[in-house]
Amino acid sequence: MANVKIDITVDTVKLRAEFPNGGEITNRSLIVMTDNQPDSIYKNSDGGRYKDKLTTAVDSEDNITWAISAANKKDKLVLVKCNVSEALKNMLSEQPDMDKADADKKWKAKLKKGLGKSVSGFYTYYFALATDLNKTWSWDPNISSRPPE
């Protein structure tokens, strides 16, 4: 069991310029996702130029924490909602939910025990600027479990 940390950094200057009214922003150069897993990969349709469609590699019973921040430190971002695919829902023993200790910036989830095969699913996160919670942006990265040893 590992603590998987997924960091999300958003270029809020470009975000406001290119999507001033919110919207779906997958496969753009607005988000950079990283994690602490050595075998995670990017699955963007652009050949790897963008870094927003991270597929995080996980194992059974891993704890996952997502944290969002703005590249422009003057902006504060808030994760407001997470939708998960049925496949990912079936992988999780605890669905994505706000981290009570840092609810505006972090969300947590937990993988089920005994994932018997390599499975994957996607999720869609919605976020907003703390100064305007009525305008949201979204994108859809993935989670993939490693085959059992």
Contact criterion met (CB below 8 Å) for 35 and 56: yes
Q: Is the pLDDT of residue 103 over 60?
A: no
Proportion of the chain above pLDDT 90, given as a percent: 36
What pLDDT is attached to residue 132? Answer: 92
Contact criterion met (CB below 8 Å) for 64 and 117: no
Q: Distances from the Cα of 20 to the Cαs of 14, 17, 70, 79, in angstroms?
A: 9, 6, 16, 18
What is the mean pLDDT of the segment spanning 55-74?
Answer: 91
CATH of the domain at 58: 2.60.40.3910
What pLDDT is attached to residue 44? Answer: 59
**Stronger pLDDT, 74 or 119, i.e. the higher one:** 74
Q: Which of 47-56, 66-75, 108-117, 119-128 has the lowest mean pLDDT?
A: 47-56
What is the mean pLDDT of the segment spanning 22-31?
Answer: 86
Residues in the chain: 149
DSSP run (H or E) holding 90: helix 86-91
Q: Could you tell me which of 90, 136, 133, 127 has the C-alpha nearest to residue 109?
A: 90
What is the mean pLDDT of the segment spanning 31-53?
Answer: 76
What is the mean pLDDT of the segment spanning 41-58?
Answer: 72
Confidence of residue 46 (pLDDT cuts 50, 70, 90): low
- Number of Cβ atoms within 10 Å of the Cβ of 127: 25
The whole domain housing 86 covers 3-145
What pLDDT is attached to residue 104? Answer: 61
How many domains in the chain? 1
**Stronger pLDDT, 43 or 73, i.e. the higher one:** 73
